[in-house]
Amino acid sequence: METLGWPFFEDRHRALAAELHAWAERELPAQHGDVDAACRDVVRRLGDAGWLGHAVPPLDVRTLCLVRETLARVDALAEFAFAMQALGSGPISLYGTAAQRERWLPRVARGEAIAAFAISEADAGSDVAAMRTVARPDGDAWIIDGEKTWISNAGIADQYVVFCRVADAERAYVALLVTPDDAGFSVTARIDTIAPHPLGTVRFDGCRVDADRVVGEPRKGLRVALGTLDVFRTTVGAAALGLARRALDEALAFAAARRIFGKALAEHQLTQARLARMATEIDASALLVYRAAWTKDGGAARVTREAAMAKMYATEAAQRVIDDAVQLLGGRGVTSGHPVERLYREIRSLRIYEGTTEVQQLVIAQQILEAHANPIER
C-alpha cells in the first residue's frame, strides 16, 4: 500500500496490510450470490483466518482503518462484513463490562456470531437525539417499544446493540443488547439498496431484556453511541479510501492499455490531468484518515474534529475519483458488473451513513468555533 511508508504506521501495521491483501486476493470469492448467504460466508472466512480478532479489543484504530481500506480495495462486501462486526460490537468493546465482553465478543471474533448496531429510525438518522424508540425499567429488566430502520445486518445478526430513549426522562438514553430470540423482537422489512447489503427494519413490541444487557451506564446511552461513532467514523473514510484506490487501479490499467487516436489513452494530456487529480485526492484522503487514527491511538480522549474531517473528505473525494474512473472507462465504466460500475454503487452510501457530509460540516464548524472562542484550550 502506497502510504505504509508514512510515519503514522509501525512495522506491525505494514505486515498486517500486506498479509491481508494477499489473503483477500486469494481467499475471497470473485462474485457473490445471495447477499445474506454471502455475508455469513465472508464473516466465517474472516473469523477462521483470524482477521476478526482486530474487530474486538484491544482496538487499534489504525489497524481498523487498514483492514477496512484493504478489504474495500479487493471486495466491498467483505469490507462491509468486517466493519459491521467491529461497529456492531463496538459499544461492548468500548463501554461493556468485563462479563459482557467475555460473553458477547469471542463469538464475534471467531465469526460465529454476526453483530449489528441499531440506532437509526425513520425520523432520526444523523439527529440521533430525535429517536423515539423507548425503553422503560421494569424491576431487574428493561422493556423496549419502537422501531429501528436502515439497520445493517437486520435479519442475519445474532446480537444487536439497540439505542433507546428512557421512557421516564426527556434527555436520557440507554444502550441494550438484544438477540433475535428475545420475545417482542422482529424483523419487519428488508430494504433493497443500489449496492446490495443486508439492510432492514427491526421492531420491538414489549421486548424484555435483563438489566445485565445494559451497555455502559443505564441513562447515558447517548454517550455510548457518540463515543463509539467517534472511534469508528474515521474507519468509514478508510473504506472510501480503499474504494478510491481500486478505482485508480482500474483507471491506470485501462489508460495504459487502451489506444485512441494512434496512441495510448495514458499519453493524452487530459487523461494525465485526470489521473493526477485522482491520485492527489487519494493521498489527501489518506493523510486525513490516518492522522485521525494515529491521534486516537496516541491516547486522545476524543477525535471529533479529526474524524469528521476524515469521513467527510475521504467519502466525497472517493465519489469524485470513482466518477472520474467511470468517465475514463467510457462504456465499460457503466457496464453492469464491471468493477468500476460496482464501485460507483458502493461509494454512494458512505457519504450518508454514520453522519452525512452535511452533518460532518456542522460538527467541524462547531469544533473550530469552540476552539476560536477558547484559544487557550487548543
- pLDDT at residue 175, rounded to an integer: 98
Q: How large is the average pLDDT for residues 245-259? A: 97
Q: Are strands 159-166 and 115-118 parallel, antiparallel or unpaired?
A: parallel
How many CB atoms are closer than 10 A to CB 246? 24
Length of the chain counted residue by residue: 378
How does residue 132 score in pLDDT terms, banded at 50, 70 and 90? very high
Is residue 102 part of the annotated active site? The answer reads no
Tens of pLDDT, residue by residue over 306-325, are 999 999 999 999 999 999 99
Beta strands in the chain (DSSP E): 115-118, 134-138, 141-152, 159-166, 173-178, 185-190, 199-210, 214-215, 259-260, 263-264
Residue 88 CB partners (closer than 8 Å, separation 6+): 108, 114, 115, 116, 117, 152, 153, 157, 159, 160, 161
Q: How large is the average pLDDT for residues 246-253? A: 98
CB 209 within 8 A of CB 139: no
Structural domains in the chain?
11-110 (1.10.540.10), 115-219 (2.40.110.10), 222-371 (1.20.140.10)
CA distance 280 to 294: 21
CA distance 323 to 333: 9
Give percent above pLDDT 70 in the chain. 99
DSSP 3-state helix, strand, coil percentages of the chain (rounded to 5)?
60, 15, 25
How does residue 114 score in pLDDT terms, banded at 50, 70 and 90? very high
Helices 221-257 and 76-95 cross at an angle (nearest 10°) of 160
Tens of pLDDT, residue by residue over 144-179, are 999 999 999 999 999 999 999 999 887 899 999 999
How many CB atoms are closer than 10 A to CB 249? 14
pLDDT greater than 90 at residue 130: no
Report how many helices (DSSP H) and strands (DSSP E) the chain contains, helices first: 10, 10
Q: Which residue has the cell 460465529?
A: 112
Collapse the DSSP code of 180 into the 3-class scheme (helix H, G, I; strand E, B; otherwise coil) and give the result: coil
Grid coordinates given for 258: 487502451
Q: Are strands 141-152 and 199-210 parallel, antiparallel or unpaired?
A: antiparallel
- pLDDT at residue 10, rounded to an integer: 95
Q: pTM value?
A: 0.95
Which residue among the candidates 121, 147, 250, 354 is catalytic per the annotation? Answer: 354
> What is the rounded average pLDDT for all residues in the chain?
95
- Partners of 141 in the beta sheet? 138, 210
**What's the 3-state SS for 318-356?**
HHHHHHHHHHHHHHHHHCCCCHHHHHHHHHHHHHCCCCC
CB 296 within 8 A of CB 231: yes
Q: Cα torsion at 313, 318, 324, 330 (round to 10°)?
A: -160
Tens of pLDDT, residue by residue over 69-83, are 999 999 999 999 999
pLDDT greater than 80 at residue 352: yes
- pLDDT at residue 1, rounded to an integer: 66
- pLDDT at residue 377, rounded to an integer: 59
- pLDDT at residue 127, rounded to an integer: 80
pLDDT greater than 60 at residue 378: no
Residue 253 CA from chain centroid, whole number: 28
